[in-house]
Amino acid sequence: MREIAFRSATALLAALEKKEVGSEELLKHFLSRIERLSGTVNAVVTLDAERALSEARACDAERRAGDLRGPLHGLPVTVKDSFETAGLKTTSGGAPGLEAYVPEKDAKAVARLKAAGAIVFGKTNLSTLAMDIQTYNTAFGTTNNPWDPSLTAGGSSGGSAVAMSAGLSALELGSDLGGSIRIPAAFCGVFGHRPSFGIVPTRGHIPGPPGTLAAPDLETAGPIARSADDLDLALRVVARADEKDAVAWHLKLPPPRRRGLSDYRLAAWLDDSVAPVDAALRERLEAAVSELRAAGAEVDTEARPGFTLARNARLFMRVLYGSMSPGLADGQFEKLQSRAAALAPDDDSFRARLTRDSVQTHRDFELAREARERMRGLWTEFFRRYDALLCPVFPSPAFPHDQSPDFAKRTLAVNGVAEPYLGTLLGWPALAGLSSLPGTAAPVGFTRDGLPAGIQVVGPYLEDRTAIHVAKLVAQVAGGYVPPPGL
């Protein structure tokens, strides 16, 4: 029975259809694994076991009667604890004031999973208010990487990625603003997809505060899974026009651009002086590109989308911190305003840029958004020549836990050089994030140190199925999901 926990959601649905396993039996297996491994990985932090088991029994009865709710009928799934779940505690990583918050209704994306027949039986851990690239908080503690508990699982959807890697759930819903799906997926050796901005509703995601109606800029909701096919399956369920828009239009994502690996025109951007890549990770990514070429793929390692990584990173920072500032408490915002006013005009340090960007004027924010549209135009031209861009998800593999309180003072060692911790978000994750593009993380084997190596596939806007298909083909040649040993 152990091996069934590591099957893809697609394979589990096939097993349910053939009645090789029942929904109740499968759910009980996941629950027993969560209980056994909670002290090791600490990924699933809130359970709704009794209700879920009752629903699983109902799903089994409905399947016997030939009455299916949808494409995910009877599949036990978990969701990141930043998504509101009706009748089930939602804390967004133990955020102040939300420690006991129980919503009355589901987030839009969660409701779509349930309508498709999924059984949401638990919530996965994240950093407080999804504000870190590690996963820990005072309410639920630290989520550990299943490949090495001394290392971070990534964040903010760290519990989501661990639930997939460690075989604790069939499918997972995460969120990604600056890499929060893709980074933990890469660190834990699974697949993750940041959708094109706007195609999956984020209403009911915290942050913003409960009840927020406006969709935050850059923020997306998307799946984390053990296969690329699962990403596509989940996207078909959660990606469509919001009800208020569906009066006039609907979403119809195009199919993948090509049929096979040799048909695709790929580009690869694997290192940059602005965001240096760890030598062991870069070695594995370069080997993956060589393996793709040996399999017949066309990969151009010189092609670039018409701008520097530094330019993209700086603009992403302006848009990111400008869009996040409404979530700051009034006192915190006023304190940042005072700090910004006291900065020397020539201070261009990372902390100074962060401070200025957090309190920028509406005029400056709109100028940044206009610059972003021009950047998107360069991407459009690039994708006329290439179907997808391969690049790192993050500058390094999973790194040791670092919970020192001042984010701005943290550093991350890359090739022996201390890089700004928060600055790591501004390089590779920002390539897809800034321009609203789909980005898929795919496992491509392991570094020489035995850590999972992930590659990012950046696709054209609204061509999510191309990004996912390329990720599938890349993983088939160069990696794919492997269960962590001993679990």
The pLDDT value given to residue 21 = 98
Whether the bond between 452 and the residue before it is cis, its omega within 30 degrees of 0, is no
Domain boundaries, the chain: 2-238, 308-369
Q: What is the mean pLDDT of residues 139-152?
A: 98
The pLDDT value given to residue 1 = 66
Q: Cα–Cα distances in Å, from 28 out to 53, 56, 168, 189, 398?
A: 8, 10, 11, 25, 31
| Dihedrals phi, psi of 144, to nearest 5 degrees | -100, 150
Give the Cβ contact number of residue 39 at 10 Å: 9
Is a pLDDT exceeding 90 seen at residue 327? no
2-238 to CATH, choices 3.30.530.20, 3.90.1300.10, 3.30.70.3170, 3.20.20.60: 3.90.1300.10
Q: Per the residue annotation, which of 165, 180, 196, 435 is the catalytic one?
A: 180
Q: What is the pLDDT of residues 17-59, one digit of tens each?
A: 999 999 999 999 999 999 999 999 999 999 999 999 999 999 9
Is 89 part of the annotated catalytic residue set? no
Q: What is the pLDDT of residues 443-479, one digit of tens each?
A: 999 999 999 999 999 999 999 999 999 999 999 999 9
Is 80 part of the annotated catalytic residue set? yes
Is a pLDDT exceeding 80 seen at residue 238? yes
Report the residue count for the chain: 487
Q: What is the mean pLDDT of residues 284-306?
A: 98
How confident is residue 424, by pLDDT bands cut at 50, 70 and 90?
confident
Question: For residues 287 and 305, what is the distance between their CA atoms, to the nearest angstrom?
Answer: 23
Helix (H) or strand (E) holding 200: none
Question: For residues 112 and 103, what is the distance between their CA atoms, to the nearest angstrom?
Answer: 16
The pLDDT value given to residue 478 = 97
Is a pLDDT exceeding 90 seen at residue 259? yes
How confident is residue 376, by pLDDT bands cut at 50, 70 and 90?
very high
pTM score, two decimals?
A: 0.97
Q: What is the pLDDT of residues 2-27, one digit of tens each?
A: 799 999 999 999 999 999 999 999 99
Give the Cβ contact number of residue 102 at 10 Å: 13
Burial class (CB in 10 A: 0-12, 13-18, 19+), 97: exposed
Is 108 part of the annotated catalytic residue set? no
Q: What is the pLDDT of residues 172-221, one digit of tens each?
A: 999 999 999 999 999 999 999 999 999 999 999 999 899 998 888 999 99
Q: What is the mean pLDDT of residues 234-249?
A: 93
Q: Per the residue annotation, which of 8, 92, 127, 156 is the catalytic one?
A: 156
Is the pLDDT higher at 422 or at 12?
12
